[in-house]
Amino acid sequence: MNLDRFPRVALCHRPTPLEPMHRLADHLGGPRLFVKRDDCTGLATGGNKARKLEFLLADALASGANTIVTVGGVQSNHCRQTAAAAAKLGLKCELILPHLSRFGSSTYDSGGNVLLDRLLGAVLHVAPDRESAAALTAAVLQQVRDRGDTPYFIAAGGSTPIGALGYVDAACEIAAQAQERQLRIDTIVVTTGSSTTHAGLVVGLEGLRRAPGLDRQTRVLGMSVYHPRDVAQATVRQRAHETAELMAFDDSPDSRAALDENVIVNDDYLGGGYGEPTNAMVEAVALAARFEGLLVDPVYTGKTLSGLIDLVRRGFFGRDENVVFWHTGGTPALFAYREAFESFLRRGESAASTS
């Protein structure tokens, strides 16, 4: 697949590492586990949005914009990386941050990603909820125009076909890594949030067809952290079709059906809703840290890993399978969720002191 016809700026450390997780796999007694380290993309502590922003910010520059406007939850990783990309390219940045989670803490509104947004020079506009964010976004865009600047709006999560190109490219990247190692990848487990990381991987794998190591039998399993399964699956399918159209893929009914068939979403680990901690997430964060020295976040990758861990324990994967956990970053949010881990940490410290 040739992505050279799309404008792109350099923001991302690529390729990101593909590492085995031997100790976690041995602890769980399941398949061979690997982690794709998109927390190592650089750009203000890294994360999956750097890949998308390479294409989105190039499009912004080509349009003549000098101000980036985007939206995401208060602890949005997307907003943090967008602010960093804008700073790197000398652009202004305005962030609309609605409260999307019922979770609250002493540092939720000021620590974690919010602190980094401010350090990166973004202007923050906090909204009480999702509904009011739409009106606030329109008002901010008008304010930018009124002061003589040219805005470029990026949808939440960079969830557009242009943003998805970053993960079409990422599918090519992991295919090359698999081929180099002669590694068969059976399943990629990834977070399904705003949808285009998941959709881009599906489109990229479909485009690769039967490349060595990553053929059409490789499944992408999305763990929803935002919407119920039916809504999430429909959204990923829509984004996949839009991305395939941008890539000028075959638009025949058979081709569209193949894309639809390859979109798999599980919502069993969503818990009470977006950004709301679960006991399984807390355990997954701790297991990744203590067995692999790997930090995952409480909103996205922690819940996704909790799903992967549970499926391993239930025998969902064969013992001889190779399963890749796609780490999309987000670790700054850990510092805004300290209270979610306190009881777990106290129990562990108490047990250690009496042993």
Give the catalytic positions in this structure.
Answer: 76
Q: Cβ-count burial of 296 within 10 angstroms (0-12 exposed, 13-18 middle, 19+ buried)?
A: buried
DSSP string computed for 214-275 = B-TT-EEEEEESSS-HHHHHHHHHHHHHHHHHHTT---SHHHHHHHHHT-EEE-TT-TTSTT
Q: Which two tokens stand for residue 57?
A: 């910010």
Strand 32-37 versus strand 18-20 pairing type:
antiparallel
Q: Which residues contact 191 (CB under 8 A, 6 or more apart)?
A: 197, 198, 222, 223, 225, 300, 301, 303, 304, 326, 328
Contact 46/329 with Cβ under 8 angstroms? Answer: yes
Contact 336/107 with Cβ under 8 angstroms? Answer: yes
205 vs 220: CA distance, rounded Å = 9
At 35, give phi and psi (nearest 5°).
-130, 130
Q: Which two tokens stand for residue 215?
A: 């053929």
Q: Which two tokens stand for residue 224?
A: 């929803």
Omega cis (within 30) before 15:
yes
Nearest to 221 by CA among 284, 155, 278, 265: 265
Rounded CA Rg of the chain: 20
At 215, give phi and psi (nearest 5°).
-110, -170
284 vs 301: CA distance, rounded Å = 9
